[in-house]
Amino acid sequence: MNQTPAERDYRDTLNLPKTAFPMKADLPQREPARVAWWQERRTYERRLAHNAHNPAWILHDGPPYANGELHMGHFLNMVLKDVFVKIALLDGKRATFVPGWDMHGLPIELETLKHLGIKDFHAIDPLELRAKCKERALYWLDRQRGVRMRMGTFGDFEHPYRTVDASFEATIVNALADLAEKHQLYKGLRSTLWCVHDETALAEAEIEYEPKVSPSVYVRFAADRQQRAKLLDRFALDMAPERVSVLIWTTTPWTLPANVAIAVRADAVYGLYQLDDEAIVVAEALASSVFAERSRDAVLLARATGEQLDGLDVQHPFAGRTSSIVLADYVDLETGTGAVHTAPGHGADDFETGVKYGLPILNPVDAAGIFTSEAGAYAGLHIFKANAKIVDDLRASGALFRAHDYEHSYPHCWRCHHPVVFRATAQWFIAMDQNRLRQRAIDAAEAVEFTPQWGKARLQQMLENHPEWCISRQRTWGTPIPALLCKGCNESILDARVARIAAERFAQAGADAWWSDPVTAYLPADFVCPTCGGTSFEKEKNIVDIWFESGVTHLAVLGKHDGLPWPSDLVLEGGDQYRGWFRSSLLTGVAIRGAAPYKHVVKNGWVNDEQGRAMSKSRGTGIDARDAMDKWGADVLRLWAASVEFIDDVRFGPTVIEHVSRVYRNIRNRVRFMLSNIDDLGAGDVIAREHLDPLDRLACEVVDAFVGDVKGMYDTFSIHDAYLRIVEFESAMSGLYFDALKDPLYSRAPGDHRRRSAQSALWYALQRFLTAVAPILPFTSEEAWQAVSPQLRGEMESVFDTSFPHHRHAVSPASLNLWQTLRDLRARVAASEIGRDFELQLHLEVASPLFEHLHALGDNLREALVVAQLTLGHAHGEAAQPIVRFDVTRAGGEKCRRCWKFRSLGSDPAHPALCSDCAHVVRDLDAAGEAL
């Protein structure tokens, strides 16, 4: 030691912060190793086992579709799920989370076919195609699983549920058996997209829109004598031309043979126009475009609303039957006549209207597009060739009002590029009103909690307007509907006994068996056709709608054992799932188990770009979840997920993340401050709460209040509120408490009671804080937890071994008030123009009861206000303000070289530049050093 006492800077005698926890997060680099660490340590499984005797709390995973990369919408949803699961785990619940994947269905089948370079799925052996599809789906599952785990998500990722598993396929078929037993299934007609060239049904996704020139024809549906009288009556008209007709417009004349109705809009105004010697009904809004150059000649005789026209009949132009006027809300007033030609066999809307009004569903067209005998004179003609003949005939009969060519965008088959048509085909349905299913589902929703609350009305409305649920698809990649076709009478049979046999068989061999087994493998003993008594059958080749498959995940995953009770406590998905999974799960739950399969439905919003616009791959604004994590790290993105109000639509983009990153850095640095100041705190040094210094006890109370608040917010899924509370808390802790502790922590002797008290409080705050933020920031809290000495951590290897306090500590409002008062006083000191912190002395005079509160803090009050000297006076009498005097002045004495407080120095001749407190500490340290 060559320095003279006068030169010595004493820095080495301070207890400066020290920690291995780095300031720089390097999340993208560090996080993957942490995922592996959790895996190796089986952190999640161990915590679950630890909670084994406590109540279960199950979040049931809605399965993502195993196709394509996960985007930020997935990230938000999956991270939120994980946040709730972690909250439950830390709360001691048995929060088993079984992630799942939706793996059948057309998108994967199409992608696989594309991959194989095959255009027609009939051209490949179904079993071969299924094998390839499965391979493809498993590939995506693996990729998505990797990304989900990379997010820091806890769950049984080694045993996810998968809709392609044999056991899952068996569940699906058993569900069908249940429904069959309850007579909830039937086979009926439905308008589906059809390619007459390929002779196959098509799905929405197999359609490409291409420009097409079609005949645009306006056709008179004339009223006969009686019909005319009623019609005039509705228009409140006595006199009118003899010939009265309703004018329709169509670009598909070949569908006219199947016409059974004309749809009008209830709230639209229709006019009866006289043109030459006839009267014509069209929507007023479209009259000028319909009459075109003859508009001036058309005279409006009377008006009526669509509603007033409801139920009238007119004559079909050539089929020799009537066509009734019905109401439909899809009728638009921008093209055509406002009176829409309705052929339930040839259109989706038309079909719904047909079902609603009980109209006949005519389908006079065979699979190849040839008119059947039902089409009368047109039988044997190809529908597209018949167009011209029909128009000619209409012209000849005088029914044609106007015709011209019309170019529009029209759906074409993606394979052969021929125009597609709608054609009624036989499909399997779940009967919505059988067993009052619809109403019971609506009632079941009543008992479910919804966040946001309007979700209930939304879901109930979906059910209210729900058409019959068509569950059959004519494709290969899916679970077969185990229906039989009687060779004797051609009847379709879906028998529960057959379905049970199929379920058992699929449970062993997977659903492929349906393609490879002989039909006899599925026949119960003595099975005969219920219609004709026949004994010879074929297997039907329909698969089940994937919405039905995902709709039974609750049956496949829950209720199998105590760990996973049915129903689940929570489901959480995007708002599109009101129509999707929330709905399908509810319907199967009610139909099969008689109740909703979940207790609470939470909806998360959509992730839009920074301008609030929808992200899209095509515009290049879609962001891949993995890319985002590689760039910013999962924890920053998770913090983003907490920082937005996830119930509403949220925004995501680089600038948004830049802001969140700053908040993240704040949190990280404050955690680092706590860690770096307890580095030398041994387990035996920790002081019991009741023996802490008053300021430290107060801080612990503030921590308890914080934890209580955050836990309360977590319990109501108010993640965003919790985020705000976390940010507010750590900034308050930092501003007041950390600043106050620096001097005692740094300048007291290492084992000084004041210092150990401060450290003990910091350790308490750190534990509580890390537990509280762990659901949102698992990587960072775990990293911090690992930076705590093993001695302090004790048995709790992971931050996920810690828990929210079982009992909420009672926090007195007086304490929180006192804390706030200290913050205010501290701010006043800090804002002082006279000098900085330890250059200052403060004279305070306050009235009761504040005086007593402040007085009880002792020297901690001076520490909290970060001044060198402080005097506290008791103001007596009635004062409007509790603080009567607040005098900041320059402190007397000089700046102690070691602790920087202004004091009288030199009491110890060996250390002339030190205050007496510091001199004592240094003497002891020096003595200890020499003793070595």
Q: Which one of 435, 666, 889, 916 is in contact with RNA (CB under 7 A)?
A: 666
Sort residue 152 into left (φ over 0), alpha (ψ -120 to 50) or beta: left
Stretch that binds RNA, among 280-288, 294-302, 637-645, 789-797 (CB under 7 A): 637-645
Residue 682 C-beta: closest distance to RNA, Å: 21
Task: For residue 54, give Cα distances in angstroms to 27, 46, 426.
Answer: 34, 14, 51
Stretch that binds RNA, among 391-399, 618-626, 740-748, 796-804 (CB under 7 A): 740-748
Binding residues among 338-377 for RNA as defined by CB under 7 A: 348-349
* By CB under 7 A, residue 900 contacts RNA: yes
Residue 727 C-beta: closest distance to RNA, Å: 4
* By CB under 7 A, residue 683 contacts RNA: no
Q: Is the dihedral of CA 605, 608, 611, 613 positive or negative?
A: negative
Question: Quick one: DSSP state of residue 364?
Answer: -
Beta bridge partners of 324: 261, 313
> Which one, 438 or 505, has the nearer CB to RNA?
438
**Residue 5 burial (CB < 10 Å; 0-12/13-18/19+)?**
middle
Q: Which one of 322, 669, 848, 907 is in contact with RNA (CB under 7 A)?
A: 669
* By CB under 7 A, residue 748 contacts RNA: no
CA nearest neighbour of 372 among 511, 452, 258? 258
* By CB under 7 A, residue 606 contacts RNA: yes
* Contact code string over 792-831 relative to RNA, x by CB under 7 A: ----------------------------------xx--xx
* Contact code string over 461-480 relative to RNA, x by CB under 7 A: x-------------------
Q: Which one of 366, 517, 645, 924 is in contact with RNA (CB under 7 A)?
A: 645
* By CB under 7 A, residue 330 contacts RNA: yes
**Residue 21 burial (CB < 10 Å; 0-12/13-18/19+)?**
buried
DSSP state letters, 515-577: HHS-GGGGPPTT---TTT----EEE---EE-HHHHHHTHHHHHSSSSTTS-SSBSBEEEEGGG
Residue 355 C-beta: closest distance to RNA, Å: 13
* By CB under 7 A, residue 454 contacts RNA: yes
Q: Any idea which residue has 């329909």 for tokens?
A: 542
Q: Which one of 23, 300, 532, 683 is in contact with RNA (CB under 7 A)?
A: 23
Residues 6+ apart with CB under 8 A from 417: 208, 210
* By CB under 7 A, residue 3 contacts RNA: no
* By CB under 7 A, residue 656 contacts RNA: yes
Stretch that binds RNA, among 154-162, 308-316, 646-654, 852-860 (CB under 7 A): 646-654
Q: Any idea which residue has 């439909």 for tokens?
A: 328
**∠ at Cα 761 (759, 766), nearest 5°?**
90
What is the chain's length?
932
Beta bridge partners of 411: 209
Q: Which one of 662, 808, 855, 885 is in contact with RNA (CB under 7 A)?
A: 662
Q: How many residues bind RNA (CB under 7 A)?
A: 71
Beta bridge partners of 314: 323
CA nearest neighbour of 483 among 497, 466, 468? 497
Diameter over CA atoms, the chain? 127
Task: For residue 897, give Cα distances in angstroms to 10, 15, 263, 913, 923.
Answer: 7, 15, 93, 6, 15
* By CB under 7 A, residue 579 contacts RNA: yes
Q: Any idea which residue has 């389908």 for tokens?
A: 363
* By CB under 7 A, residue 2 contacts RNA: no
Residue 708 and residue 865: Cα distance in Å, rounded? Answer: 27
> Which one, 57 or 632, has the nearer CB to RNA?
632
> Which one, 544 or 657, has the nearer CB to RNA?
657
Binding residues among 543-562 for RNA as defined by CB under 7 A: none
Q: Which one of 6, 655, 878, 927 is in contact with RNA (CB under 7 A)?
A: 655
Binding residues among 693-732 for RNA as defined by CB under 7 A: 720, 724, 727-728, 731
> Which one, 150 or 895, has the nearer CB to RNA?
895
Q: CB count, 10 Å around CB of 679? A: 17
Q: Which one of 742, 754, 903, 911 is in contact with RNA (CB under 7 A)?
A: 742
Phi, psi (deg, nearest 5) at residue 480: -65, 145
Residue 352 C-beta: closest distance to RNA, Å: 8
**∠ at Cα 728 (722, 732), nearest 5°?**
145
Residue 440 and residue 591: Cα distance in Å, rounded? Answer: 8
DSSP state letters, 53-85: TSPB--BPPPPPBSSS--BHHHHHHHHHHHHHH
* By CB under 7 A, residue 576 contacts RNA: yes
> Which one, 559 or 835, has the nearer CB to RNA?
835
> Which one, 130 or 898, has the nearer CB to RNA?
898
Residue 24 C-beta: closest distance to RNA, Å: 7
Contact 250, 241 (CB under 8 A): no
> Which one, 798 or 860, has the nearer CB to RNA?
860
For residue 321, give both structure tokens. Answer: 């039957």
* By CB under 7 A, residue 11 contacts RNA: yes
Contact 866, 888 (CB under 8 A): no
> Which one, 377 or 830, has the nearer CB to RNA?
830
Q: Which one of 643, 767, 802, 860 is in contact with RNA (CB under 7 A)?
A: 643
* By CB under 7 A, residue 209 contacts RNA: no
* By CB under 7 A, residue 300 contacts RNA: no
Residue 612 C-beta: closest distance to RNA, Å: 4
* By CB under 7 A, residue 305 contacts RNA: no
Beta bridge partners of 598: 568
Question: Quick one: DSSP state of residue 474?
Answer: S
> Which one, 384 or 886, has the nearer CB to RNA?
886
> Which one, 224 or 267, has the nearer CB to RNA?
267
* By CB under 7 A, residue 582 contacts RNA: no
> Which one, 514 or 646, has the nearer CB to RNA?
646
* By CB under 7 A, residue 52 contacts RNA: no
Residue 895 and residue 897: Cα distance in Å, rounded? Answer: 6
* Contact code string over 62-101 relative to RNA, x by CB under 7 A: ----------------------------------------
